[in-house]
């Protein structure tokens, strides 16, 4: 142990009683105030600001200077606070996001960010605003080139870049498409109302999980092995135990035996690795200490004697004869496939594929890489577990599912398990299911204190990912371009534990044939276990993988038949009411309108500039198939409205949409609505926030809760005015009386006083489970998208330059067009990531080679297409309020095949493996040149 380690003693369990390292005194200015503090030399400026000064606006994500979430200004210049030692701040003047707005008065940049829709989950925003602020102050009239450069050190995984470019134009005083920011009454639905919770996100006061300080909280750090798969021989925790400030070190041996396993569908994941680690990063021990710094240091002192075992990390390796079994046979009792790494064999289809006669048969194999969510907020959990009750803070997408799983695991009544779900800083599916909550709970119970675990970005990479896939397709076409059959074999590479991956494979492949009229289809899909991070839900669920292949087939057929990519789709895509999957609900929108709109927006029939290529593709994803969402709406005597909803607002803007719905239904100004979310003790049950369901499911529940209030308003009017019920109606948010019309909002303020109370409405939407349906029920709606590109490819280097990127969704009704645009762009940009750059790379030992932000590349402001635009088809034909449908995943479904088609059109090479990195395209060009 270094001699710089000393215990300072001192009272209070959470007062930093023990500190690691020698302390230095420093003086600096922070947001204009002089500060004098002692700080250990190895503490980063970011930790100092957040933990010592409690300025939690700056965030930590990558901790290596790549994401910019920690950006602050030092002597006026933006820097990464994670890369500075706090002691380097000596004598400096630091400005954090907290110093940017004057009280509630936002700066010009902050105001523009909100107004133009730059803010989604908000986790990147404090850092982003600091970079934007620095540019704006230095160069108020900065143009897009400077803006792209200035923001390129800040990553936004929600994909807000386009709106931010707008915001910077707005801040520069240029005219941008005008969005409503003022709360309005009566017609917020359909208007670009700015985000509820937006102010907190631009001024840095929004509390994310890592910003919470729970009294008495101790800090946990995972102990992992740098090996893909290993047999654990012996764990020596003595050195870690000896570090002052370490409270406990926990291994599987310390847990009740047998160590419990959990999972949403299969109970296969142990709380902590028992005897064997099955993927790179699976924890074997956990150290809990007084500070995160001590925990991290001590975790490095835990000695784990282990033997590396062969790991299967690819589909071929997992399916090979004699491949090591990822899950022991005992874990899969009664499963005839238990002797293999195939989890399930799924079969769908209709018609007669083998008997179908085709003029053209296209047969190809496509691959889709493992990718990771890379939410800018790394995963984090806090649990206060006592013998008889438990409180869990987790930015989880499904608080009630977490409650259920934890109650089961710890044998507690549901009512004794409270889940508090702070808004996730981006979810994208990664935050759906429990991950380390059970481990944190076990440790919390052992030490009798709340325990916090916040993962590093590297650990987050090891915790969540999307299934990689290899898809082999044979497709038949008539010479005129009619699609006759698809014969699809999909293998999805899932992880060591199933999580929700079986459903991902099922749902994606059930709709493998896409939004087409296909007379004959055979789909065989297998989720294949491997020694890799458990793959989980991820925006688009299992569709982007198989759609890459199937749309690739359509593009290939078009090329071989000499038909245009647009024409072959106009010929085969189902239009409203036409059947796609035999026996399933038919197409629920005028999809051909979306295809045509995308083509028009791109300028499909204009002359193509020299050297450029164009491509187009479509996709559909099944919306939620089952569900139960409850909502409660309280209309208070002064017209205030409280909406209780179990949805998680992870950037999609659920809060805003719900407030709009309630405001309009009750004739109230938008700013009188408050949303109460994310606390299972307070909000009524909601199944989950997934599958773009919330507008439809929770939106409907809220609408119905407001209708429940309407009935009571009529009763109130009868009672107080003495008018018969038959003479009173509610229209929109207005009560219609024989002599006048009045917004409910105004009416209750005058009348409710006599009732001494408030009106409480309950509403729910339920879609029951249908046991015999392969998905448990028909999709509540389809998310349809058409994407088109115009690109240029550098034949020498393989680099792709995107000039135009167009995405059009069939949204039913845009309740908030700005929000729809934000969601759509976000999905599109994420799609560009897996199309062009993103992939988890493994070495032969099963280790991830590109953990963290340096070698896993996502889209930055400088990678944005020259022009990205969104269109929406609104026919008010969805099942949600005002005919809305879910919208947040469509634009990720067909990014890759549309881009692939554009690349092929530009340079004549066809890529079948993603991502289309410069090197991969270059290689394809070399092969083409060699013939």
Of 40 and 788, which has the nearer Cβ to other proteins? 40
Based on the shown chain and the rule CB under 8 A, indicate whether residue 29 belongs to the binding site for other proteins: no
Of 22 and 875, which has the nearer Cβ to other proteins? 22
Identify what 99 binds: ligand FES, other proteins, none; CB under 5 to 8 Å per kind: none
Helix (H, G, I), strand (E, B) or coil at 662: helix
Based on the shown chain and the rule CB under 8 A, indicate whether residue 64 belongs to the binding site for other proteins: yes
Give, as one character, the DSSP assignment of residue 112: H
Stretch that binds other proteins, among 266-274, 696-704, 776-784, 920-928 (CB under 8 A): 920-928
| Distance (Å, whole) CA 549 – CA 367 | 8
Stretch that binds other proteins, among 116-124, 289-297, 334-342, 511-519 (CB under 8 A): 289-297
| Helical residues (DSSP H) of 370-436, grouped into ranges | 399-409
Answer left, alpha or beta for residue 405, where phi above 0 means left and psi between -120 and 50 means alpha. Answer: alpha
Based on the shown chain and the rule CB under 8 A, indicate whether residue 462 belongs to the binding site for other proteins: no
Total binding residues for other proteins by CB under 8 A?
A: 61
Based on the shown chain and the rule CB under 8 A, indicate whether residue 85 belongs to the binding site for other proteins: yes
Q: What are phi and psi of 734, to 5 degrees?
A: -115, 140
Identify what 885 binds: other proteins, ligand FES, none; CB under 5 to 8 Å per kind: none
Count Cβ atoms below 10 Å from residue 361 Cβ, excluding itself: 15
Of 82, 287, 518, 748, which lies in the binding site for other proteins, with binding defined by CB under 8 A? 82
For 654, the enclosing helix (H) or strand (E) is: helix 654-665
Identify what 860 binds: other proteins, ligand FES, none; CB under 5 to 8 Å per kind: other proteins
R_g of the chain computed on alpha carbons: 28
Tokens of 182: 């003022």
The binding site for ligand FES (CB under 6 A) comprises 60-63, 65-70, 80, 82, 119-125, 156-158, 160, 376, 426, 651
CA dihedral in degrees (279, 889, 649, 682; nearest 10)? -80
Which residues have CB under 8 Å from 268's CB, separation 6+? 261, 327, 331, 497, 498
Of 14, 152, 180, 875, which lies in the binding site for other proteins, with binding defined by CB under 8 A? 152
| Distance (Å, whole) CA 349 – CA 659 | 43
Of 45 and 594, which has the nearer Cβ to ligand FES? 45
Identify what 861 binds: other proteins, ligand FES, none; CB under 5 to 8 Å per kind: other proteins
Identify what 144 binds: ligand FES, other proteins, none; CB under 5 to 8 Å per kind: none
Q: What are phi and psi of 146, to 5 degrees?
A: -65, -35
Of 440 and 829, which has the nearer Cβ to ligand FES? 829
Binding string, residues 34-53; x marks residues near other proteins by CB under 8 A: ------xxx-x---------
Find the shortest distance in angstroms from Cβ 20 to other proteins. 5
Find the shortest distance in angstroms from Cβ 87 to other proteins. 5
Identify what 60 binds: ligand FES, other proteins, none; CB under 5 to 8 Å per kind: ligand FES
Find the shortest distance in angstroms from Cβ 871 to ligand FES. 23
CB 688 within 8 A of CB 625: no
Q: What are phi and psi of 807, to 5 degrees?
A: -130, 135
Across 843-891, where does the E strand assignment appear? 867-873
Of 161 and 644, which has the nearer Cβ to ligand FES? 161
Find the shortest distance in angstroms from Cβ 114 to other proteins. 23
Which residues have CB under 8 Å from 750's CB, separation 6+? none
Find the shortest distance in angstroms from Cβ 732 to other proteins. 47
Of 48 and 922, which has the nearer Cβ to ligand FES? 48
| Distance (Å, whole) CA 190 – CA 612 | 37
Identify what 69 binds: other proteins, ligand FES, none; CB under 5 to 8 Å per kind: ligand FES
Distance linking the first and last C-alpha atoms of the chain = 63
| Distance (Å, whole) CA 48 – CA 695 | 40
Based on the shown chain and the rule CB under 8 A, indicate whether residue 17 belongs to the binding site for other proteins: no
Based on the shown chain and the rule CB under 8 A, indicate whether residue 63 belongs to the binding site for other proteins: yes
| Helical residues (DSSP H) of 420-500, grouped into ranges | 437-447, 457-461
Binding string, residues 816-845; x marks residues near other proteins by CB under 8 A: --------------------xx---x----
Based on the shown chain and the rule CB under 8 A, indicate whether residue 65 belongs to the binding site for other proteins: yes
Residues facing residue 221 across a β-bridge = 287
What angle (nearest 5°) sits at the alpha carbon of residue 13, between those of residues 10 and 18? 50
Q: Pick from 696, 694, 701, 693: which is nearest to 630 by CA?
A: 701
Find the shortest distance in angstroms from Cβ 127 to ligand FES. 7
Identify what 841 binds: ligand FES, other proteins, none; CB under 5 to 8 Å per kind: other proteins
Stretch that binds other proteins, among 258-266, 296-304, 317-325, 599-607 (CB under 8 A): 296-304
Stretch that binds other proteins, among 295-303, 375-383, 524-532, 892-900 (CB under 8 A): 295-303
What angle (nearest 5°) sits at the alpha carbon of residue 827, between those of residues 810 and 675? 85
Based on the shown chain and the rule CB under 8 A, indicate whether residue 96 belongs to the binding site for other proteins: no
**Is the bond leading into 368 cis (omega within 30 degrees of zero)?**
no
Q: Pick from 35, 398, 378, 29: which is nearest to 211 by CA?
A: 378
Residues facing residue 736 across a β-bridge = 729, 741
| Distance (Å, whole) CA 738 – CA 717 | 11
| Distance (Å, whole) CA 57 – CA 422 | 15
Identify what 41 binds: ligand FES, other proteins, none; CB under 5 to 8 Å per kind: other proteins
Q: DSSP assignment of 539-582, as one string?
A: TTTTHHHHHHHHHHHHHHHHHHHT--HHHHHHHHB--TT--SST
Stretch that binds other proteins, among 102-110, 255-263, 365-373, 919-927 (CB under 8 A): 919-927
Based on the shown chain and the rule CB under 8 A, indicate whether residue 222 belongs to the binding site for other proteins: no
Of 1 and 711, which has the nearer Cβ to other proteins? 1
Of 149, 200, 671, 679, which lies in the binding site for other proteins, with binding defined by CB under 8 A? 149
Based on the shown chain and the rule CB under 8 A, indicate whether residue 860 belongs to the binding site for other proteins: yes
Count Cβ atoms below 10 Å from residue 743 Cβ, excluding itself: 19
Identify what 651 binds: other proteins, ligand FES, none; CB under 5 to 8 Å per kind: ligand FES
Strand 800-810 to 33-40 pairing: unpaired
Find the shortest distance in angstroms from Cβ 287 to ligand FES. 23
Per residue, the 3-state secondary structure of 342-359, as one string, reads ECCCEEEEECCCCCCCCC
Based on the shown chain and the rule CB under 8 A, indicate whether residue 296 belongs to the binding site for other proteins: yes
| Distance (Å, whole) CA 604 – CA 597 | 10
| Distance (Å, whole) CA 505 – CA 621 | 12
Based on the shown chain and the rule CB under 8 A, indicate whether residue 927 belongs to the binding site for other proteins: no
| Distance (Å, whole) CA 492 – CA 543 | 11
Identify what 702 binds: ligand FES, other proteins, none; CB under 5 to 8 Å per kind: none
Of 812 and 852, which has the nearer Cβ to other proteins? 852
Identify what 150 binds: other proteins, ligand FES, none; CB under 5 to 8 Å per kind: other proteins
Stretch that binds other proteins, among 97-105, 309-317, 393-401, 849-857 (CB under 8 A): 849-857
Of 156 and 463, which has the nearer Cβ to ligand FES? 156
Stretch that binds other proteins, among 146-154, 364-372, 689-697, 741-749 (CB under 8 A): 146-154
Helix (H, G, I), strand (E, B) or coil at 334: coil
The residues that touch other proteins, with contacts defined as CB under 8 A, are 2, 4-5, 20-22, 24, 40-42, 44, 63-66, 68, 71, 74, 77-80, 82-85, 87-88, 90, 131, 134, 149-150, 152-154, 293, 296-297, 300, 796-797, 836-837, 841, 849-850, 854-855, 857, 859-863, 917-919, 922-923, 926
């Amino acid at each position: 142990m270094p001699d710089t380690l000393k215990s300072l003693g001192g009272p209070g369990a959470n007062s930093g009683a023990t500190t690691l390292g020698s302390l230095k005194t420093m003086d600096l200015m922070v947001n204009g105030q002089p500060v004098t503090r002692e700080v250990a030399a190895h503490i980063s400026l970011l930790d100092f600001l957040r933990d010592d000064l409690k300025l939690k606006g700056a965030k930590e994500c990558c901790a290596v200077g790549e994401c910019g979430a920690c950006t602050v200004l030092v002597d006026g210049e933006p820097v990464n606070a994670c890369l500075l030692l706090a002691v380097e701040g000596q004598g400096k003047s630091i400005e954090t996001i907290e110093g940017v707005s004057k009280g509630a008065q936002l700066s010009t940049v902050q105001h523009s960010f909100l107004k133009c829709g730059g803010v989604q989950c908000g986790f990147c925003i404090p850092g982003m605003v600091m970079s934007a602020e620095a540019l704006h102050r230095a160069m108020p009239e900065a143009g897009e080139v400077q803006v792209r450069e200035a923001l390129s050190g800040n990553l936004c995984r929600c994909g807000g870049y386009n709106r931010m470019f707008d915001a910077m134009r707005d801040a520069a005083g240029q005219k941008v498409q005008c969005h409503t920011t003022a709360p309005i009454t009566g017609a917020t639905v359909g208007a670009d109302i700015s985000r509820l919770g937006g102010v907190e996100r631009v001024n840095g006061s929004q509390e994310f999980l890592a910003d919470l300080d729970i009294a008495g909280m101790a800090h946990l750090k995972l102990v992992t092995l740098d090996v893909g798969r290993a047999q654990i021989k012996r764990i020596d925790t003595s050195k870690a135990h000896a570090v002052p400030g370490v409270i406990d070190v926990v291994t599987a041996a310390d847990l009740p035996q047998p160590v419990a396993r959990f999972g949403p569908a299969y109970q296969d994941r142990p709380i902590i690795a028992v005897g064997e680690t099955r993927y790179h990063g699976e924890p074997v021990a956990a150290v809990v200490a007084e500070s995160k710094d001590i925990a991290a240091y001590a975790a490095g002192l835990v000695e784990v004697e282990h033997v590396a075992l062969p790991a299967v990390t690819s589909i071929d390796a997992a399916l090979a004869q004699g491949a090591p079994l990822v899950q022991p046979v005992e874990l899969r009792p009664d499963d005839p496939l238990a002797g293999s790494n195939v989890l399930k064999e799924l079969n769908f289809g209709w018609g007669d594929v083998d008997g179908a006669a085709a003029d053209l048969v296209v047969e190809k194999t496509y691959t889709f890489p493992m990718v990771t969510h890379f939410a800018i907020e790394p995963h984090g959990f806090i649990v206060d577990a006592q013998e008889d009750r438990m409180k869990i803070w987790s930015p989880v997408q499904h608080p009630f599912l977490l409650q259920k799983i934890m109650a089961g695991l710890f044998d507690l009544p549901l009512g004794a398990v409270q889940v508090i779900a702070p808004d996730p800083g981006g979810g994208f599916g990664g935050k759906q299911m429990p991950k380390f909550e059970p481990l944190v709970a076990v440790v919390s119970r052992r030490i009798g204190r709340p325990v916090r675990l916040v993962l590093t970005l590297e650990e987050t990479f090891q915790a969540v990912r999307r299934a990689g896939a290899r898809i082999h397709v044979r497709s038949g076409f008539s010479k005129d371009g009619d699609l006759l059959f698809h014969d699809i074999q999909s293998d999805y590479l899932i992880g060591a534990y199933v999580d929700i991956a079986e459903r991902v494979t099922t749902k994606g492949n059930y709709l493998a044939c896409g939004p087409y009229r296909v007379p004959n289809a055979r789909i065989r899909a297998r989720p294949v276990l491997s020694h890799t991070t458990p793959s989980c839900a991820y925006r688009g669920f299992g569709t982007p993988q198989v759609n890459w292949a199937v749309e690739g087939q359509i593009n290939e057929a078009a090329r071989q038949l000499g038909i245009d990519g647009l024409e072959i789709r106009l010929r085969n895509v189902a239009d409203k009411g036409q059947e796609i999957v035999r026996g399933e609900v038919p197409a629920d929108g005028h999809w051909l309108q979306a295809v045509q709109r995308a083509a028009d927006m791109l300028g499909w029939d204009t002359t193509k500039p020299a050297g450029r290529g164009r491509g187009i593709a479509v996709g559909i994803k099944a919306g939620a198939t089952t569900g139960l969402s409850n909502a409660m709406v309280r209309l208070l005597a002064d017209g205030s409205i409280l909406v209780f909803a179990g949805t998680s607002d992870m950037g999609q803007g659920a809060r805003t949409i719900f407030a709009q719905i309630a405001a309009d239904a009750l004739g109230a100004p938008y700013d009188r609505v408050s949303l109460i979310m994310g606390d299972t003790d307070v909000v009524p049950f909601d199944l989950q926030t997934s599958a773009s369901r919330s507008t439809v499911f929770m939106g409907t529940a809220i609408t119905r809760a407001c209708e429940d209030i309407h009935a009571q308003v009529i009763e109130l009017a009868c009672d107080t005015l003495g008018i018969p019920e038959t003479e009173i109606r509610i229209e929109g948010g207005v009560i219609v009386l024989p002599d006048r019309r009045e917004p409910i909002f105004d009416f209750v303020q005058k009348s409710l006083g006599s009732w001494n109370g408030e009106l409480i409405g309950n509403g729910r939407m339920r879609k029951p489970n249908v046991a015999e349906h392969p998905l448990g029920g028909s999709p509540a709606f389809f998310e349809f998208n058409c994407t088109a590109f115009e690109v240029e490819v550098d034949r020498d280097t393989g680099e792709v330059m995107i000039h135009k990127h167009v995405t059009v969704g069939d949204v039913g009704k845009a309740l908030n067009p700005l929000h729809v645009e934000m969601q759509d762009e976000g999905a599109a940009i994420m799609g560009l990531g897996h199309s062009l750059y993103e992939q988890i790379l493994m070495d032969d030992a099963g280790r991830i080679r590109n953990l963290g932000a340096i070698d896993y590349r996502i889209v930055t402001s400088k990678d944005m297409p020259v022009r990205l635009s969104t269109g929406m088809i609104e026919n008010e034909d969805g099942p949600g309020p005002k005919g809305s449908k879910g919208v947040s995943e469509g634009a990720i479904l067909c990014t890759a095949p549309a881009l692939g088609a554009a690349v092929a059109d530009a340079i004549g090479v066809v890529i079948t493996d993603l991502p289309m990195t410069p090197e991969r395209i270059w290689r394809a060009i070399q092969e083409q040149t060699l013939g």
